[in-house]
Structure 1
Amino acid sequence: MVVPQGSLGTWDWKSIVSNMFPLLVVLSVIVLWAGITLEDAEEMLTEYAILAVMVPTMVDMGGNLGAILSSRLTTRFHLGTTELDPTDRVLWANVAAILALAATIFTALAIGAYALGIVIGSPLPLSTLLLISLVSGMSVAVIAIVFSFLATYGSYRLGIDPDDTTIPIVTNVVDVFGMVIFIGVSALVLGF
């Protein structure tokens, strides 16, 4: 079967580059925001070094959660098994799985950071680390879910293969929001 030019099933490198290049330029500018936020939080991260250890995992896991959901949604679109119907039980099961995974990961992050904090002499108690990690992490998970749906459905509706666009959009946007939310929640909890 020959796939018509411009459909979702093409592997034309020119169309992929033409779709992705402007997107990657915009996403690069957005990611600069995360770097600026991190630089502005230098004093807090210096005083509470264990938070600096948590930053890469917090940012990375948020993007990974979004990538997982985006991949699952994209596959369902390609297979023709979803229309983003609010009554779709499988769709809600995927959302619940992402939230459960987020709760598990971010609880483990707080516990791991606390254990490492004992070794390096971090003054933060486990309850504080759990509060920062879970509030930040679950907020990032919700943002990952929203952007996964928006990027996947938007790409599909625009006739762009979601496989080409969703992962870069979701991971970059969620990374930025992950950094901003983590720094904001940490500053709020610690009174910075």
Structure 2
Amino acid sequence: MSYYTIQGIVRSSAPILAFTSIIGIAAGQIMNTRLDSLLSLPILLLLIPALIKIGGDTGSMLAARLASAFHMGLGTTQIHKNPVVRNSLIAAFIVGTSASVAVSVLVWIAGHFLTMSLPFLVIFQLCIIAEIFELIVVYAATLGIAIASHRFGLDPDDTIIPMIATLGDLVGVLAIFATINLFNII
């Protein structure tokens, strides 16, 4: 008999997918409230999709690594001192910040070609500050959800990854708008 059944997967995934749908709609509505200001500076429209995906994607990568570690029994004892968890967090943070730097350079270059540029330093600061805030929140949530799903016997692949990808979108949008307000860009 198989461990996974269609009914079991649907029963465990349906609430998660409903929850992530609501979070995704909320992130879209937050962007919708700022649409006029975003249209006044179109270079931000190049920046936002890339930045919000970095947090969700690297958070999902971290979630997959933690799920594998927990399945193998490597990450369940003394989480705060565990080298598997610590190294996974460090690696994901390096990937996320490196991607943020690359996005800032690419968006600045694209902005020059499309004649809608901002100074490089402004784009760079916006990317780095927004992304660091997003990564901290998303990685903390990833760790918490991974531990909780493992302790409650839920399949982490069905719970963590969809939740973190969607949470990355919401936190990313909030982080970008908070950073835009911090620098008074629009």
Indicate the TM-score class for this superposition, using the shorter chain for normalisation. Answer: over 0.9
Within 5 Å, give how 1:27-176 maps onto structure 2: 27-83=20-76, 85=78, 86-176=80-170
Contact 2:60/2:161, CA 8 A, preserved across alignment: yes
SS in 2 for 1:140: helix
**Alpha-carbon deviation of 1:190?**
2.7
Post-superposition CA distance 1:8-51 (Å, at most 9, x none): xx212212111111121122111111111111111221121111
Q: Distance in 1 between matches of 2:136 and 2:28?
A: 22
Q: Select between 109-118 and 43-52 the one with higher mean Cα deviation.
A: 43-52
Q: Which residue in 2 is equivalent to 1:177?
A: 171
Q: Which residue type is aligned with residue 11 of structure 2?
A: S
* Distance in 2 (alpha carbons) for counterparts of 1:34 and 1:178: 9
Alignment: residue pair count? 185
**Contact preservation (8 Å) 2:108, 2:117:** no
Question: What SS does structure 2 have at the residue aligned with 1:36?
Answer: helix
Q: Secondary structure at the match of 2:81?
A: coil
Structure 1 runs (4+) greater than 6 angstroms displaced: none
Question: Which amino acid is the alignment partner of residue 148 of structure 1?
Answer: T
Task: Establish whether residue 25 from structure 1 lines up as the match of residue 18 from structure 2.
Answer: yes
**TM-score, normalization by structure 1:** 0.90
Extract unaligned runs of 5+ from structure 1: 4-9
8 Å CA contact retained: 1:156, 1:162: yes
- Measure, in 2, the Cα distance between the counterparts of 1:32 and 1:185: 21
TM-fit CA distance, 1:84:
5.2
Note if contact 1:44-1:187 (Cα within 8 Å) is conserved in structure 2.
Answer: no
Deviations 1:56-77, CA, capped at 9 Å, x for gaps: 1111111101000000000001
Whether the 8 Å CA contact 1:65–1:144 is kept in 2: the answer is: no
Question: What is the DSSP-based 3-state SS (H/G/I as helix, E as strand, rest coil) of the residue aligned with 1:11?
Answer: coil
Tell me if the contact between 1:144 and 1:174 (Cα under 8 Å) persists in the aligned partners. yes
After superposition, the CA RMSD in angstroms is 1.5
Contact 1:107 1:134 in 2 (8 A): yes
Paired residue type of 1:23: I
Query: 1:16, 1:154 → 2: CA distance?
Result: 18
Could you tell which deviates more after superposition, 89-98 or 103-112?
Answer: 89-98
Structure 2, unpaired ranges of 5+? none
The residue identity in structure 1 corresponding to 2:22 is V
**Separation (CA, whole Å) in 1 of partners of 2:149 and 2:32:** 33
> In 2, are the aligned partners of 1:136 and 1:185 still within 8 Å (CA)?
yes
**Distance in 2 (alpha carbons) for counterparts of 1:71 and 1:181:** 24
